[in-house]
Amino acid sequence: MKRKDFVKSMVLGGLAATGIVGCRPKPETAGTTPSVQTKKKYRWKMVTTWPPGFPVLGEGCEMLAQWVKEMSGGRMEIKVYGGGELVPALEAFETVSEGSAQMGSGCPYYWSGKIPAAPFFATVPFGMNAQQMNSWIFCGGGYELWKKAYADFNLVPFAGGNTGVQMGGWYNKEINTIEDFKGLKIRMPGIGGKVMEKVGASAILVAGGELYTSLERGVIDATEWIGPYHDHRMGFHKIAKHYYTPGWHEPGTNMEFFVNKTKLDSLPLDLQVIIETACTRVNQWMLLEFEAKNRIYYKKLVEEHHVDVRVFNKDILAKLKVATTEVLEDMVSESPEAKKIYAAYRKYQSEINGWSDISERQYFTSLNI
């Protein structure tokens, strides 16, 4: 088999394995750069928002680099830098935009100060779950909106993983009514943090490495993180009394890779598609890995550490949902782009929920019969 035929088969095989060949967004650069096989090698840098070696999220970046190298036959190598190793974590977006690094990894809601609509490509309280988000982005028009939102920054985004439904957080007091949030100091970023402030809490930004001591010393009264696997690693079960569910604030958080468009366009077409394919493979792997790890560590928390798992009652969730609507309306009123994207997001969620209600919901209900 000729080398170019081998690479082509690898790329198409990778796309088929992800199951998105039929609805894969048409690459913006398709056909603009010939796929000419040469011995030229490409060396890229990826800057991330994750601590070096961070479980799942950071691991996904390393896996992408390995897969790109393998699929390209060694023609392309990507060096991954954890947050702070090359640039501060939250400077990754700007660094790639300027071209000082060719690629980055993070979460869209980190860039809400630059792009008010960015959180809609990450997660929305009471919004779509991971399955629905992937459907919207890959097959429902979300990706075209996402690319347009990043275009002014010379960036091309790619879905890069999903946490699935997160947990509602660790609390050192019972939350029985909406009034119990008043005066509460809680670590919760993004739109969820704004909702917390709407109901009377103080949303405090605390770096991940400082969360344990902050909660232990009473600097904060509560924190959300991700889910059982990462929460267990952080040791929150040792210092917090109650573990609440559901994670209404992050029902399916989409992670991302973002690539400098000029650098991407300069690559041969086969390498462009290899990068896209590797991103999609990470996107699938990350959600599955979170599910696999959380199943183990939820059991550990409950059976070995006897964690008190509680469910937010319906009245609390209903009032949080009302507050979420008010926060979102305030957000989109200040940005025409955000308003347009939020309308598209809500329309898709409404339509797909109609299907989910008679499929997923009915199936899970049947398990309790």
Distance CA 59, CA 53 (A): 6
Distance CA 282, CA 159 (A): 9
Residue-wise pLDDT tens digits, 144-155: 999 999 999 999
CA distances from 280 to 8, 195, 246, 314, 364 (A): 17, 32, 27, 36, 28
- Which pLDDT value is given to residue 369? 86
Distance CA 226, CA 147 (A): 27
- Which pLDDT value is given to residue 260? 98
Confidence label for 31 from pLDDT (cuts 50, 70 and 90)? very low
Contact (CB, 8 A) for 166 and 261 = no
**Element counts in the chain: helices (H) and strands (E):** 13, 11
Class of domain 3-22+39-162+252-291: alpha beta
Question: Hey, what's the torsion of the CAs at 150, 155, 156, 160, to 10 degrees?
Answer: -90
Strands (E), 294-364: 308-311
Task: Name the residue ranges covered by the structural domains of the chain.
Answer: 3-22+39-162+252-291
- Indicate whether 28 pLDDT > 70: no
- Indicate whether 202 pLDDT > 60: yes
Distance CA 252, CA 243 (A): 19
The average pLDDT across 25-41 equals 59
Distance CA 289, CA 229 (A): 10
Residue-wise pLDDT tens digits, 50-89: 999 999 999 999 999 999 999 999 999 999 999 999 999 9
Q: By C-alpha distance, which of 56, 24, 41, 36 is closest to 255?
A: 56
- Which pLDDT value is given to residue 194? 95
First to last CA, the chain: 55
Residue-wise pLDDT tens digits, 87-127: 999 999 999 999 999 999 999 999 999 999 999 999 999 99
- Which pLDDT value is given to residue 359? 96
- Indicate whether 182 pLDDT > 90: yes
Q: By C-alpha distance, which of 134, 158, 162 is closest to 259?
A: 158
Phi, psi of 25, deg, nearest 5: -60, 140
User: Tokens standing for 116?
Assistant: 């008010």
